[in-house]
Amino acid sequence: MTAAAPWRATVLSLFPGLFPGPLGASVIGKALTSGTWALEAIDPRGYASDRHKTVDDVPFGGGPGMVLRCDVIDRALAAIPDLQSKEAQKDAAKVDGRRPALYLSARGVPLTQARVRALAAGPGVVLLCGRYEGIDQRAVEAWDLEEVSLGDVVLAGGEIPAMMLIEACVRLLPGVLGAEASLGEESYEQGLLEYPHYTRPAHWVDQNGQARDVPAVLLSGHHAEIAAWRQGESEATTRRRRPDLWRRYRAAKSKQGA
């Protein structure tokens, strides 16, 4: 019997030495060592054409900073043999067992847990990390790169967002986490943020002398009441913190009821 091919992440980064970094720790690192997933970090500098290994240049139209050159990024992507075709990227029916290429970008579409699930279910990902002002847009268009953002903040480079994306996918791979049954209850999985968690001690007094007891229902052993309390907490927290998610959740619920 042949072992299943590992889920593969190829990262294009000017700082390949940053990898695996935190991805080498804990359950994600164990899964890397055991071969559940594989990681390769490639420096686009290796695809520069001059002897100085130049990868960037000043932006046309002026302005601060530098831009990563499209010809260098193009050669680096062309050297990856199992990159998904443009057609397959656009049409799920044409998925060809190859990997999609994503550009981590502050201008990108926000990454969602649904997209992470789809990426984790495929053969892996090719991730392009920007630096400086980002990459020349022509490379993004020529390769139809999916631009994804890991939050409404601007970081110095795409490496930490790439690690976030990889970690989010790898923890969904079969066997990586022990209690897989609990995955479905986590934040975003049902369209809601998760309920709060508590553990021992049941009775605790904080530094200001305030007693903080665990909600009594969690000690009751009454499963239906615990489930109802958790659902209520999830809904209240989502409504308060994420009105966007709450609106979507309510709309989906009323559609199901219709």
Cα–Cα nearest to 150, from 136, 138, 164:
164
Angle between helices 159-170 and 113-121 (to 10 degrees): 70
Residue 147 host element (H or E):
strand 146-149
Q: Does 40 bind ligand SAM (CB under 6 A)?
A: no
- How far apart (Å, rounded) are the C-alpha atoms in residues 57 and 51? 15
CB of 160 to ligand SAM, least distance (A): 8
Q: Does 158 bind ligand SAM (CB under 6 A)?
A: yes
Q: Does 154 bind ligand SAM (CB under 6 A)?
A: yes
Phi first, then psi: what are they for 125, rounded to 5°? -140, 155
Q: Which stretch binds ligand SAM (CB under 6 A): 36-44, 53-61, 71-79, 155-163?
A: 155-163
Contact 104, 155 (CB under 8 A): no
Site for ligand SAM in 112-131 (CB under 6 A): 129-131
Contact 135, 128 (CB under 8 A): yes
139 vs 150 by CB, closer to ligand SAM: 150
Using CB under 6 A, pick the residue from 27, 106, 236, 245 that binds ligand SAM: 106
Q: Which stretch binds ligand SAM (CB under 6 A): 149-157, 195-203, 207-215, 222-230?
A: 149-157
Site for ligand SAM in 175-214 (CB under 6 A): none
Bridge partner list, 57: 67
CB of 100 to ligand SAM, least distance (A): 16
Cα–Cα nearest to 11, from 162, 165, 235, 131:
162
Query: How many residues appear in the chain?
Result: 258
Q: Does 167 bind ligand SAM (CB under 6 A)?
A: no
**Per rule CB under 6 A, count of chain residues that contact ligand SAM:** 19
**Site residues (vs ligand SAM, CB under 6 A):** 104-107, 129-131, 133-134, 149-151, 153-158, 161
